[in-house]
Chains A and B, each alone.
Chain A
Amino acid sequence: MGMTMTEKILARGAGRESVRPGDLVLAKVDFAMGHDLTIPPAGRIMREQMGAEKIWDPERVAVTQDHFQPAKDAASATLGRLTREFSQQMGIKWYFEVGQGGICHTVLPEHGLVLPGELVVGADSHSCTYGALNNFATGIGSTDLACVLALGELWFRVPETLKFVYRNRLKEWVEAKDLILYVIGQIGVDGARSKAMEHTGEALRHIDMEARLTMTNMAIEAGAKNGIMEFDEVTKAYLDERAKRPYTPVSSDHDAEYEKVFEFDAEKVELGVAKPMSPDNYAPLSEVAGTRLDQVFIGSCTNSRITDLRRAAAVLENHKVAPGLRLIITPSSHQVAIQAEREGLIRTFLAAGAAWTTATCGACLGGHMGVLGEGEVCLSTTNRNFPGRMGHPKAQVYLSNPAVAAASAVAGVITHPSEVLEKMPAALR
């Protein structure tokens, strides 16, 4: 019997010929990540409780200062300091200081640190993002991370794989975000609980690497262990200038076993949102158009890479943010910010009356720079809208793609981008 990509990577990590879903394996990790909220507990557990003095491989660990950094208060400054000190003491090669990195899930792919065929873990739930680059990547806790840092190995239950086939192409205005919100709406926030989501099909061949990262990013929002995609020329082109190590792509066997196969006609997917208070609360945009907004947030590891900002800028060009509404734009990395500056996107944002921030997770997790108050309504390009995610438990968050977010910021209510911009330039689609 053949194996899926996920099974092959876990089998290789475990040093076994093959694995089956349900197997518990101890597997070698190729790359690990932690940040300012997860490194301090992991570092303490590793040194004080596990008794390890050094980490297994300082070249295979990345640390970002992204969640509550630049420090939002004195306690966060302490977490930032502990993260910095641990990284220095352990000699971690891929340490990204405030102003030089950004959100982990944008930073690691753009630096070519997470590669095809690899087994990657990150002490952050959205670590599943990396799977768009044809690897097995999953989120882990702090005790898990301490174990990986000490041993370079971790236990895994081999997941069942769900296959998602997307036929045809996405329509005009419809983005990868709309597709994944639609899929999560179909299967629910526990629809892929502890399983692998393998995405394939024609629609994916026509979207770029950043859009693919948006899709795998949200695997966790369906409860999945990982999201994974095939290696193709798009993957190769993205990695050619970036990959820091040689890599070996992996593909699923023709006779691999899937627990279930879902087929979607991408052409039939409508522009949509996830309504409050759950990422699976999908609705076509037409159903919520006209909803009054207090804040629009364009940011996060889901939808704030350069292509996202280009589409937002195309919509905002020569327009102003609606009175009574604030638009906050947070690039997802320092490199993205540099590129946005080069292309004049920041000028467009500032002229429109948007607040432009440094690269940070910030408002997405209700941390800082855009936390919502009681009863406020926000349209956000982020990934999660459970009660209290972005601040007050009675704040309401709608999730959308960046073009919808930008258009809605201009209109003051949830709006189709075609009402602000006649046509998205072909190069940005």
Chain B
Amino acid sequence: MTLPKVLRGRAWKFGDNIDTDQIIPAKYAIYSLDEKELGKHAMEGVPGRDKWASEVGQGDILVGGSNFGCGSSREIAPVAIRGAGISLVIADSFARIFFRNAINMGYPILQSPQASEAIEDGDELEIDLEQGIIRNFTKGDEYRSDAFPPFMNELLRMGGLVPWVRKQLEERRQKANASR
């Protein structure tokens, strides 16, 4: 699974410090192995957004404020957002475990304080993932995102940590066979 180069969609705007229990309330952790079911309840814990998941279109873009995804380590937070149909998350900044989880899943996220501040709910966006450029068609603006270190880019390009570990395991097997 490799990432598309360009993504387009409607922006859904959220505030600062949106924590994992708001992204996916813990009671839905019983669906930890069911991305579609988790997706139906994404962002349900954010006050006033309990119907959000039913309004999202496939490929839409979520825009958060600072410290997006703070709280629990549960990977079901980015899984639920992906399950709801969101193709990309942009934020002013991400909490570290949410950030790790997304990269490990091969799920694109972009850190851009400029975009997070300027984008409003309903704006039509186009994102060039390779260039890290966010175009806002509604406002006629363009924003840049922070660059990832090379290893994280490699993980995203490969499709996450799973193919990376497969490759490591294969190399270990070959080494073990060679030394036999």
Contacts and interface: CB of A to CB of B under 8 A. Distances in A.
Interface of A: 24, 37-38, 40-41, 44-45, 49-52, 67-68, 73, 75-76, 79, 122-125, 127, 139-144, 146-147, 150-151, 155, 157, 189-190, 193-194, 220, 223, 225, 278, 365-367, 384, 386-389, 393-394
Given A151-B168, A223-B96, A37 B45 contact: no
Contact of B97 (A75, A140, A150, A190): A140
The number of chain B residues touching the other chain, given as a range, is 35 or more
Given A125-B97, A278-B17, A143 B66 contact: no
Kindly list the 6 A-B residue pairs having the minimum CB-CB distance in the complex, ordered from nearest. A75-B30, A141-B101, A190-B67, A143-B104, A141-B75, A388-B45
A52 B162 CA distance: 11
Contacts of A144: 100-101, 104, 161
Interface of B: 17, 19, 21-22, 25-27, 29-33, 45-47, 66-67, 70-76, 93, 95-97, 99-101, 104-105, 149, 151-152, 160-162, 164-166, 168-169
Contacts of A140: 73, 97, 100
A141 B106 CA distance: 13
A384 B22 CA distance: 12
Nearest to B67: A190
A122 B33 CA distance: 19
Contacts of A73: 30
Given A37-B74, A366-B26, A52 B169 contact: yes
Contacts of B169: 50-52, 150-151
18 contacts: A37-B32, A40-B32, A50-B166, A68-B29, A122-B73, A127-B73, A141-B101, A142-B101, A143-B101, A143-B104, A144-B104, A155-B151, A190-B67, A190-B70, A278-B17, A386-B19, A388-B45, A393-B47
Contacts of A157: 149
Given A189-B70, A387-B45, 17 more contacts: A37-B29, A38-B75, A40-B32, A49-B162, A140-B73, A140-B97, A142-B74, A143-B104, A143-B161, A146-B161, A147-B165, A150-B169, A193-B96, A223-B70, A386-B21, A389-B26, A393-B45
Contact of B32 (A41, A125, A193): A41
For the residues of B in contact with A, the DSSP-based class is helix
B53 to A, nearest CB: 15
Interface centre among A143, A150, A278, A367 (most CB of B within 10 A): A143
Given A365-B21, A389-B21, A150 B47 contact: no
A223 B67 contact: yes
B30 A79 contact: yes
Contacts of A366: 21, 25-27
A93 to B, nearest CB: 22
Contacts of B161: 143-144, 146-147
A154 to B, nearest CB: 9
B65 to A, nearest CB: 10
A37 B132 CA distance: 34
A68 B151 contact: no
A197 to B, nearest CB: 13
Contacts of B165: 50, 52, 146-147, 150-151
A218 to B, nearest CB: 12
B45 A125 contact: no
Nearest to A75: B30
B33 A40 contact: yes
B43 to A, nearest CB: 11
Interface centre among A40, A67, A384, A389 (most CB of B within 10 A): A389
Contact of B75 (A52, A67, A79, A142): A142
Contacts of B45: 387-388, 393
A268 B155 CA distance: 48
Nearest to A72: B30
Nearest to B160: A143
Contact of A388 (B21, B99, B101): B21
A394 B99 CA distance: 28
A68 B75 contact: no
A300 B95 CA distance: 22
A357 to B, nearest CB: 17
Nearest to A67: B29
A194 B96 CA distance: 5
B156 to A, nearest CB: 13
